[in-house]
Amino acid sequence: MNLNENPHRRYNPLSGEWVKVSPHRTKRPWDGQVEDPVIDDLPAHDSGCYLCPGNTRAGGHKNPDYKETFIFDNDFAALLPEQLKGDTEVNKAGGLVRASADRGLCRVLCFSPRHDLTLARMSCEEIQTVVKMWTDQYEEIGSKDFINHVQIFENRGAMMGCSNPHPHGQIWAEEAIPDLPAREINNQKAYFVKKGSQMLSDYLTFELGEKERIVYQNDHFAVLVPFWALWPFETMILPKRNISSLSEMTDHECASLAEAIRILGIKYDNLFSTSFPYSMGIHQAPTDGEEHPELTLHFHYFPPLLRSATVKKFMVGYELMAMAQRDITSELSAARLRELPEVHFRDRLK
């Protein structure tokens, strides 16, 4: 079967779900609308930004005059650390109406004091500081007795619901392991029991041999478009040595991860000459006190753009009512990203 010509389904072993691929609908997916580069003209410091150094946040707290990274408890947290008083469960109608108390905490992580930067436009050394911040937060928050899962993520761009362009991410940590990571954990565990090896390590070995879905690699990490990708230019970052969390990285691996994050960000921005929107999340071992030899640290990048800086893929109709579907194949997406320069388009316009 020619996967770049014929409609077919692809299996996602992490989620246990299928993705419908219809490559015949779009033979040359990056042809189409052509736009001038979208240049964000942001100041280095914005007096109206609640994340810039020295400014007052919406909750009334004043930010310190930070010089690198800055972390604070979210002023409008989705989860709270206090133990609920009274009943913590609701179970009615024979289990059809159920609710359970959900304890946790939320933090905001500013990557830089510079309002006008993104990870793609920061140096590798500056991104290393961010990676170490992620690691410290994973360890600190995960050590709390009521936290079993630490979800680190970044929403970038207004298209992904980010209300502030200042470079930042978030942490939501909680007692219960959320549905998507739980599904990935269960599938990786089943694979490990059956095969005696880690699913994502075996998968990366295969992809490094095939090469057609590899976007970038260095000594310790690889960026690829997964075979089962749903979003047009979805990617993953995977370690070449199996590690289950950020805590297990060496200093050299930390530097290589920072380089991979930077290069992927540059390639994304160069794709449509814009500050590329995405949601990025880190999946790693739960902090439930158990050993997880089956798991592999990995980064998911889910960007919405399809054909240009303004044309996005919508999850509607069939995708909402039946199953996930995409037109451009993973192989064509990877080739397009791989061919892009590793110098940011803004630097080339100077």
Residue 72's domain comprises 8-349
Q: How far apart are CA 293 and CA 143, in angstroms?
A: 19
Model confidence pLDDT, tens digit, residues 7-49: 999 999 999 999 999 987 765 444 445 556 666 789 999 999 9
HSE at residue 280, side-chain half, CA atoms within 13 A, is 18
Residues of the chain with pLDDT > 90: what percent? 79
In a domain, 311, yes or no: yes
In a domain, 84, yes or no: yes
Q: How far apart are CA 218 and CA 203, in angstroms?
A: 17
Can you read off the two tokens belonging to residue 16? 């246990």
In a domain, 80, yes or no: yes
Inter-residue contact 240 to 257 (CB < 8 Å): no
Q: 252 an active-site residue?
A: no
Highest mean pLDDT out of 33-42, 94-103, 124-133: 124-133
In a domain, 1, yes or no: no
Model confidence pLDDT, tens digit, residues 310-337: 888 888 899 899 999 998 999 999 999 9
In this prediction, residue 4 carries a pLDDT of: 81
In a domain, 3, yes or no: no
Catalytic residue (choose from 115, 149, 166, 168): 168
Secondary structure class of 151 (helix, strand, coil): strand
Inter-residue contact 19 to 230 (CB < 8 Å): yes
Distances 188 to 11, 146, 151, 305 between C-alpha atoms, Å: 14, 24, 18, 29
With a threshold of 0.75, does the pTM exceed it? yes
CATH number, position 330: 3.30.428.10
In a domain, 54, yes or no: yes
Give me the number of domains the chain comprises.
1
In a domain, 345, yes or no: yes
CA-wise closest residue to 275 among 162, 170, 108: 162
